[in-house]
Structure 1
């Protein structure tokens, strides 16, 4: 029975490791998501600044204006691509969180089963101990009753 309990304990330990690893994945994914969000905010801020630039230069030539507009379009494309990145990173965070929750639920279930097995074993050992004490007491009583005859 003790080896069975040891196996259950090992399962709990492995489940803890899996949950910890899933937690590390969540942290990594959240960091990736935050980085992507910061990049998006930086792109938006730069685009806003860039959009204001032509008003500062009144005497901008046609070629300069077209170049400026083309670059502005590239910035908007970059923002769209980065927005997609942010969405993908957010989905990855959600998937990682789901996996972590699943590992946590599995760990809790295994811990509960392990605790139940531990209590069963403790109870069984306690009953065996009590039985041995009862047998010892009856043997002593038997010896005492036979030594007086």
Structure 2
């Protein structure tokens, strides 16, 4: 299995910029815990967003990053459980041809991708993995 560490998709000629087009359901964690996504464990702290996507996938976004990435949809008040829309923020993405692993963040959870899944870079040192079927449903290329 390919282990991807110290990744920087900015310098990868096979990476491109994409935006997410998705409405999600959000519940804010009341206590610490762990959510098991398709790609592996996502540990969370109180206040972090536990997200269920349009394709049934689940993942965690830390509370300090959530507001920059998602906007509440009426009648949901910002910061409360309910429906949110992904903000059209560019991410770098690259499809990986073989099974692989990557750290979600420095010292964070190790995620696992299957052949054909996508490695996403949200910011330096901040990564995710999207299953190919989900990726083609909710991301669109902007370059």
TM-score tier, shorter chain, comes to under 0.3
Q: Which has the higher helix share?
A: 1
Structure that is richer in strand per residue: 2
Report which structure shows greater RCO (CA 8 Å, sep ≥6): 1
- Larger Rg computed on CA atoms: 1
Q: TM-score when scaled to structure 1?
A: 0.15
